[in-house]
Structure formats: C-alpha cells, structure tokens
Structure 1
Amino acid sequence: MTVDQRIIVPLDVPTAEAALALVDSLPQVSFWKVGLELFISTGPGILQELKARNKRIFLDLKLHDIPNTMAGACAAATRYGVDILTLHASAGKAALTAALAAAQTEATQTNTPLPLIVAVTLLTSIAAEALATELRVPLKPGDYALQMAQMTQDVGLGGVVCSPQEVSQLRRFLPSDFALVCPGVRPTWASTNDQQRTLTPAQALQAGATYLVIGRPITASPDPTAAFQRICDECTTALS
C-alpha cells in the first residue's frame, strides 16, 4: 500500500450532504471513516454513496453487546460491503467469536468480501490515570492494550484499534499481518484536541501501524488538500 492508502479520514459530520461535500472536495482520499454520528444520522445510505464513488469504508461503530446481537450486527455490516468494521475487545471472547463467524457466513452466502474486523483495545481519549481511577483496571494502558490484542488474535480477528504509543509494544508480540489501526495521530503542526496518547503520523508508521485515522488536522485545516498532502509527504520521507 502507498502512504495515501493507509490514511483514513473521518467523516465526523452530522449529515450526508456535508459528508459527501467533504468527500468530493478531497478526491485524493480513498479511505473514509463513518462513525456513530453520521451512521445514526443517515443510516446505511451513506455507505452506498461512498461505494458508488469507489471509496473504501471504515465503519467505526465500536460494537459492544451480547454475542447474539454482535453476530447480527456484523452480518448486516458485511452486507454493506464495508472494508473495516470495529468492535470493542472488552465485549469478550464469546462475542468476538460470534461476530466473526456471522460475518464469515454472511460473506460466503452473499458472495461479499469479508471485512477486516478489528477490536478496539482502549479508547485513545483514556489516559493512564483514568484507566486506573475511573475504570479500575490495574494495568498500564500499554499492558492492557496488549492483553486485549492477544485475545483478539486468539479469536481470529484481523487486527485491533490502538493508540500509536502502543504500536511498538504490540508489534513485538503480534504478527506483521495483524492490522494495527491508529487513531489519535497528530502531526507536530496540529492540535492534539482530546487525544491523550498520540504520535505523529510518521512516527506511528515507523513503529508498525497499518492504518492511521487522521481527522481534524486535515478536515479542520484552512486547506484540507494541502494538509493531506503534507502528511503523506512527511510519512513518505520518514519511511524512505
């Protein structure tokens, strides 16, 4: 994959009109994230619009429920032809196993490509102090992320969503074809906003990230096209 194919830009807007205007304004972006706000606002119609434009889709709904419900949701998502789908690893092995099996069955029965199903290890907005004092998890974020990632791999899922700061540690214990999707990535020239555990895009790719989710540094820039290209150029230089 080229660097530009590894950057996923979020459509964090409330309407289909705003989302498609953003997509059409950045034709060089091939991979877009549809999250909770947009999906709940528009329903699956936005996925069909993106596919009609030959875009790849990261459906980031972070599903977290009982096994039967997770299975049904993943089967439905597979029918939409999305490329990556997110679950919460903390739903547990039974739910992750049921989700994967349902997606595989649906893909076979409908002759639809199986999406890459990845599990969220720990939200990048949660820092070490919050993990310990609010969630009462007696592990450091990196150790907790590794535990969730290894469970995800054991189940057979294709990767995890993790903080870029955890990528190096995860890569030491996980195979190279196990995808690491990293939100919370910020160039040095952009604000960190509400992300607590960040690296630059170049640093994240050098550490072993597979995909980077980069939103506001691009979409909130006065010149989104130039911002996207600047990030691609910086990453390409760092990896060469």
Structure 2
Amino acid sequence: MIMQGKLIVGLDLPNVADAEKVVRELDGVVDFYKIGYRLVFGGGLEFARDLAAEGKKVFLDMKLLDIDNTVAEGVENIAMMGVSMLTLHAYPKAMRAAVAAAKGSDLCLLGVTVLTSMDEDDVREAGYADDPATLVRKRAAQAREAGMGGIVCSAAEAASVREILGNDMAIVTPGIRPAGAERGDQKRVMTPADALRAGATHLVVARPIIGAPDRRAAAQAILAEMQAA
C-alpha cells in the first residue's frame, strides 16, 4: 500500500518489551515508528538502532535544543544510528548547526514549530506575541532557510506552510485522530484524510493504534482512510 510509508506509529510506551510487542503485531502493515522521550529513557535508543538495522524506518523524536556545538555533536552521532528522521526545536541557530552536522547523511531533520498540545493561550503564556498559526509559518520559513528536511506542525497549519516550504520538504503532523477518537491532551487535531488533503506528507498516530484492542485492524483502518484520501 502506497500509504504505508506515510503512517508513523508512535511507540509511546514505557519499555522496549511493550514496543517490541507492538512492532510484532503490526509487522507487514506498518514499517515506520516514532520513538520519543518515554521510550528513549527506557532503552529506546538501542531499540531504535535495532529497528533501523532490521530495515524499519525510525522517527527519533528528541526535540533537540542547546548551544550550537552541542546540537551539532548530538546530530553527528544520531546520523550514524541509521534512523530516518530526527526532530529539533525550530530555532534558527540550532537548525543551521544541525544541518551542517548532518551533511552527507540520509538523516531528515525536522523543525518542531508549535506543539499540537498548545493553543493560543498556551503560546502567549510561554512568552510569544504571535498566535500559533503565525508562529508556525514564521518557523517554517526559518526551517526552509536553514536547509532542513521538513517541519513538524499541526495538520491545521499544513496547507498554509506548504506554500512556504514548496513541494520538496516534509510536513509531519502529530495530533491525528480518526473520526470519533478521543482527543486526549491534543488541542489542534485532524483526521488522517483531512491531514493528507491539507498537505501533510507523514502522519504520526500513537494512541488510536497502540491503545486499540486490535492494533493491526486499527492501523489498517487508518491506512485505508489515508488511501481513500
């Protein structure tokens, strides 16, 4: 199925044993997985290497941000792990340092614009004068100028940032919820079909799949919806 490479299943699980079980259950249906903080601190980095060695695609969601040299050194080591995607916060200096460090590798660097758990009140409380949509567009432009591989944003902003990014950069959208699914702590959400129509290239789905009674069927249903779009 052509959509298989566009669906990224978030392994937001407490340990590697649980993550391995999900990967086994989804074998042949999904080949792209997100590993974030929770699993990273439960042995997830070695698991990421193992998945990559097995031919799976790995989206390492670390949201790096530090002084330029530290970001660059981290990216250099991550590029050698064989993972496909890596996130860092979309601060111009950090992005430029990461791009320089990843040069010559196949690592796709993604700038995280505004977290999908944040709305306008949250953004203003954090000290930004812009509303989320404006801030996303501003950071998308900075990511393009820095030479990043793409950005992470809400699907609600995908259409507007596609005009900024052109056709060559990835738009990865978390906060994807099939019709009728609970939002959880996400505030800016969209269905899989609508996200693709808006211009997203990759959809990150965690709870609607890993929390489903039949994970394989849940993933297949989302893929079918994506294919229909």
Instruction: State the TM-score, normalized to the length of structure 2.
Output: 0.96
Provide the rounded CA distance (Å) in 2 between the counterparts of 1:144 and 1:103: 25
Correspondence for 1:7 = 7
In structure 2, what is the Cα distance between the partners aligned to 1:50 and 1:61?
A: 17
Q: Deviations over 1:210-234 (max 9, x none)?
A: 1000011111011111111111111
Q: Distance in 2 between matches of 1:196 and 1:218?
A: 19
Superposed counterparts of 1:158-169, under 5 Å: 158-169=149-160
Per-residue displacement from partner, 1:99-144 (whole Å, max 9, x unpaired)?
A: 111121xxx4xxxx42100100011101111112x11212121110
State yes or no: 1:120 paired with 2:112. yes
Structure 2 residues not aligned, in runs of 5+: none
The aligned counterpart of 2:99 is 100
User: Aligned partner of 1:26: which letter?
Assistant: L
Paired with 1:126 and 1:79, the residues of 2 have a C-alpha distance of: 33
Which structure is richer in relative contact order (CA contacts within 8 A, separation 6 or more)? 2
Alignment partner, residue 16 of structure 1: 16
Alpha-carbon distance between aligned partners in 1 of 2:59 and 2:96, rounded to the nearest angstrom: 20
CA, structure 1 residues 75+202, in 2 after alignment: closer, same or farther (shift >3 Å)? Answer: same
Amino acid at match of 1:65: D
In the alignment, what sits opposite 1:38? 39
SS at match of 1:44: helix
Distance in 2 between the 1:174 and 1:190 partners? 30
SS at match of 1:142: helix
Residue of structure 2 aligned with 1:149, choices 137, 140, 154: 140
- TM-aligned CA deviation for residue 177 of structure 1: 1.2
Residue number among 169, 193, 196 corresponding to 1:202 in the alignment: 193
- CA apart distance, 1:173: 2.2
| 1:11-68 deviation line (CA, Å, top 9, x unaligned) | 1112111111110111011000011111122153112221233210000000011101
**How many matched pairs?**
228
